[in-house]
Amino acid sequence: MSLAPFKVLLFDCYGDWETGMLENLKPLLDQPSAPNREKLFEVLGPIENKTQDDTPTMLYYDVLTKVYSETAGKLGLKADESQAKAFGHSVPSWPAFPDSSEALKKLSDAGLKLVILSNVDNTSFEGSRKRLENGFTFDAIYTAEKIGSYKPSLRNFDYAIENIKKDFGLEKEDILIVANSKYHDIQPGNKKDLKSAWIDRDKASMGVSAYKDVKPTYQFSTMIEFANAMVKDKS
């Protein structure tokens, strides 16, 4: 199936969230009884998801602060309030994947609308934005803070569909979700009859490993592979 019909790309696969988390969880991971990466995310992921479900208007840096403390407690690790707050405010330092900025510029140059739909607060996203926008500008940014809920709530996707129509005069059929998380993006996108391109990031586990049965429309290994395929189909 050709990618040519799509005009709007609804993104959430640009940031290496798991690496960012690991780098800022060092006070926990440096403890002798700390678990490995897989076990850590098996514990942390559900805590984050439940916090977002239970408190949909809580800002993401406060969500992460709570997640840090609860994850430490569940794993029997030592944590203090200052460490939890530091983790909560660490998102601006989390790295983008190496191919993200190049791929996004290529897609922007091809005339595609680039829209972010992300489970972050506005302040935290500004740090990511500075690393990503290099010769292009995002056409719209829809954060959990703006929407008042977190993915996978279908409310977030309704918001995106409605605002893309209002801002760009484009329809649901023009939208392609481009994401890594099957839990946060591909699965709810399927429920809204949105087409999707899954970026199968190496070693990504949160929102991925437990959702092998969730099927995207397209699958790519990297953002640049997707961008090259999209530009080829558009030409």
3-state secondary structure of 68: helix
Dihedral, 106, 107, 110, 115 alpha carbons, nearest 10: -140
Locate 133 and state its tokens. 């926008």
Clarify whether 167 is annotated catalytic. Answer: no
User: N- to C-terminal Cα distance for the chain?
Assistant: 15
- Can you state the percent helix, strand and coil of the chain, rounding each to 5? 50, 15, 35
Catalytic residue, candidates 12, 16, 121, 185: 12
Running DSSP on this structure, what letter comes out for residue 7?
A: -
- Cβ(81)–Cβ(6) under 8 Å? no
Query: Whats the size of the chain, residue-wise?
Result: 235
Give catalytic residues, as residue numbers: 12
